[in-house]
Chain A
Amino acid sequence: MEQTVKNPADGAPDYNFAYLDEQTKRMIRRALLKAVAIPGYQVPFAGREMPMPYGWGTGGVQVTAAVIGPNDTLKVIDQGADDTTNAVSIRQFFAKTAQVATTEKTAEASIIQTRHRIPEKELREDQVLVYQVPIPEPLRFLVPRETETRKMHALEEYGLMHVKLYEDISRHGHIATTYAYPVMVDDRYVMDPSPTPKFDNPKMNNMAALQLFGAGREKRIYALPPYTKVKSLDFEDHPFEVQTWEDKCGMCGARDSYLDEVILDDQGNRMFVCSDTDYCAERQEAGHRGPQHHDQPLGSADRGKAAE
């Protein structure tokens, strides 16, 4: 059954619903089912060319296209913000090809596609989080050969992951990996949550929402079904820790969120604001105030200006 969407502009060629043809979507869904059945396992899939370059989230876009339905509400974030070029163009892509509702509110979304961040607001069972992944293979940095990394996953030979962490500590005195911090999924597969900051790793553990990962260039899909155990790798004497900040959010005063540093002027004045723009805005609407708040909401679009 072909689903198509009329192009309202000029009646020119119709799009298939969510751009991909039904056969491709079925193929991706089969890969997704397998991925959900084997949490953390990388399932190869025959990725399609998308009307956007690799690095723009083609893996995530294909996964979203395969799971989205007409009644879904889509949110897209990049570095926690809804209004970057990348996030806006993916949101527009689905608004056009699937005519779905879009939102910037985490709570209102049924599907959230993300690069980097997991929203600060706790996700629910009726939500799906889709990650855009550039490099899915956590062992790649030391083992370039694909046949060998597959064998290592199959045989649970993960000592090398600790070799990487060992190098971190011997060079920096602590585990300096802050992004793409490797995790053990369900006591079985080591997975790269790339490129999310390690701050978000604990949120992956036991999450109520379904988490789907799509790597476009490398044509891999993996998944974390709801309530899956996700543990960040570490050493007994160097336990996993998330980033912490001395400051709180300058706008909403939050101390529990991931903060971005914003340069205010060339005198070296700076401030910290929530990277999750929806979280920050919602807190401000609820009356929370940070030290730099001058009763004028500062969205991330204004941050660029603040830096000028």
Chain B
Amino acid sequence: MTQMNEPLLRVEDLTMMYGDRVGCKDVSFELRPGEVLGIVGESGSGKSTLLRSISAQQEPTKGKVEYQTRIDGVRDVYQMSEAQRRLLMRTDWAFVHQNPRDGLRMNVSAGANIGERLMAIGDRHYGNIRSNANSWLGKVEIASERLDDLPSTFSGGMQQRLQIARNLVTSPRLVFMDEPTGGLDVSVQARLLDLLRGLVHDLNLAVIIVTHDLAVARLLSHRLMVMQQGKVIEHGLTDQVLDDPQHPYTQLLVSSILQN
């Protein structure tokens, strides 16, 4: 059993090099169940690189990622067999991409998009899969009459909500998000953030969310990591980091937001 105070995820000295270029360097932190970690920093600072390296999508040059699995206890995700890792990635983990097209199957219906993970883990009852998909459609505030429609007939905001439903249907404990509100206009963003905040709270999800947007970070995350040139230069409780930034770069980042 996972204890509340035992970390769900432990990242140690993670470094990703692209040849001579630094992607991210010497990053270490822990994440507890239900905790939301924001990663902020300017373009090119290594946020996406770090997220991909943590989430087993890109093997890092150096360092370790350990995860508290449901069955086998703490496992180094890069030491698992590929089959185990892929199973973990589609059951206990979830990925919300900035572009919903990267996270959805555009050529099958919304219901099939949500049902896919259930079928992948062996659910073979059509009626159950469908009603489960329908109930998730409701949770992300999409009318159930859209269940059989293709995602391409959905608005950008709806596609993003569908992507979230498709990911959460297997009750994952850890969700990775890279700029989930990036391509949306402001009012659509606000609604999505509201929804995300509710789900994260209700389902006690641990989340690592990458964003440019300090307002998004403040709204969703408990803790904040600030990156610059591949390194974490400041790390603390979100309110502390934003209200009393210590590092000159973070001070600059916060003040530039306040001026807008």
Asked if A170 and B83 sit within 8 Å, CB to CB, the answer is no
> Do A162 and B86 form a contact, CB below 8 Å, given A142-B105, A171-B148?
no
By a CB distance below 8 angstroms, the chain B residues around A237 are 125-127
A164, A170, A236, A237 pick with most chain B CB within 10 angstroms: A170
Q: State the CA gap A167–B120 with chains docked (Å).
A: 15
Is the beta-carbon distance between B126 and A235 smaller than 8 angstroms? yes
Which stretch, A49-57, A96-104, A153-161, A248-256, touches the partner chain B? A153-161
Interchain Cβ contacts under 8 Å between A and B, 15 examples: A142-B105, A151-B82, A157-B120, A160-B120, A162-B124, A163-B108, A163-B112, A163-B115, A166-B112, A166-B115, A170-B111, A170-B147, A235-B124, A237-B127, A238-B126
Bound together, the chains give a CA A162 to CA B133 distance in angstroms of 15
A170-B109, A236-B126 are known; give 4 further A-B pairs, CB within 8 A: A163-B115, A166-B115, A170-B147, A236-B124
Expressed in whole angstroms, the Cα–Cα distance for A236 and B108 within the complex equals 21
Contacts of A238 in B (CB 8 A): 126
Give the docked Cα–Cα distance between A269 and B225 (Å): 77
B49-67: CB near A (< 8 Å → 1, else 0) gives 0000000000000000000
Residues in A whose Cβ lies below 8 Å from that of B148: 170-171
Closest chain-B Cβ to A293's Cβ sits at a distance in Å of 43
Residue of A nearest to B118 (CB): A159
> Is A166 in contact with B86, judged by CB distance below 8 angstroms?
no
Residues of A within 8 A of B127 (CB): 237
B130 in the interface, Cβ–Cβ < 8 Å? yes
Is B116 touching A159 in the complex (CB atoms < 8 A)?
Answer: yes
Interface string of A227-241 (1 = CB under 8 A from B): 000000001111000
Contacts of A151 in B (CB 8 A): 82
| Contact A167-B86, Cβ < 8 Å, known A157-B120, A162-B119 | no
Cβ A236 vs Cβ B125 within 8 A: yes
B203 interface residue (CB < 8 Å to A) = no
CB proximity of B157 to chain A, nearest CB, Å: 24
Q: Is A169 close to B, CB under 8 A? A: yes
Taking a contact as CB atoms under 8 Å apart, the answer to whether B108 and A142 are in contact is yes
Query: Closest CB of chain A to B93's CB: distance in Å?
Result: 15
Q: Is the CB of A167 within 8 A of B126?
A: no
Contact of B96 with A by CB under 8 A: no
CB B101 to nearest CB in A, in angstroms, measures 15
Q: Do the beta carbons of A167 and B112 come within 8 Å of each other?
A: yes
Judge whether B129 is part of the interface by a CB distance below 8 angstroms. Answer: yes
Return A236 CB to nearest CB of chain B, in Å: 5
Residues of A within 8 A of B (CB): 142, 151, 155, 157, 159-160, 162-164, 166-167, 169-171, 235-238
Given contacts A235-B124, A236-B124, contact A166 B129 (CB under 8 A): yes
The CA-CA distance from A157 to B117 in the complex, in Å, is 11
Contact present for A155 and B83 (CB under 8 Å): yes
In the complex, how many angstroms separate the beta carbon of B56 from the nearest chain A beta carbon? 14
Assess whether B121 is in contact with A166, with CB atoms less than 8 Å apart.
no
Partner of A159, one of B111, B120, B126: B120
Interchain CA distance A272-B14 in the complex, whole Å: 70
B-chain residues with CB within 8 Å of residue A142 when the two chains form the complex: 105, 107-108
A160 to B117, CA, bound (A): 9
CB distance from B162 to the nearest CB of A (A): 15
Contact with A along B179-195 (1 / 0, CB 8 A): 00000000000000000
CB distance from A139 to the nearest CB of B (A): 13
Docked pose: A169 CA to B133 CA in angstroms: 14
Taking the closest CB of chain B, its distance from the CB of A250, in whole angstroms, is 37
Q: How many Å lie between the Cα of A170 and that of B107 in the bound state?
A: 14
User: In the complex, what distance in Å separates the CA atom of A170 from the CA atom of B86?
Assistant: 28
Query: Which A residue's beta carbon lies closest to that of B129?
Result: A166
Bound together, the chains give a CA A159 to CA B118 distance in angstroms of: 8
Q: Using a CB-CB cutoff of 8 Å, which residues 106-154 of chain B contact chain A?
A: 107-109, 111-112, 115-117, 119-121, 124-127, 129-130, 147-148
Residue in A159, A169, A170, A236 whose CB lies within 8 Å of B119: A159
User: In whole angstroms, what is the CA distance A237 to B126 when docked?
Assistant: 6
User: Are B86 and A157 in touch, CB under 8 angstroms?
Assistant: yes
Residue of B82, B105, B112, B125 near A170 (CB, 8 A) is: B112
Note all chain B residues with C-beta closer than 8 A to A162: 119, 124
The 10 closest A-B pairs by CB, nearest first: A159-B120, A162-B119, A235-B126, A159-B119, A155-B83, A236-B125, A163-B112, A166-B112, A170-B148, A237-B127
Contacts of A159 in B (CB 8 A): 116-117, 119-121
- Known contacts A163-B116, A235-B124, A155 near B86 by CB under 8 Å: yes
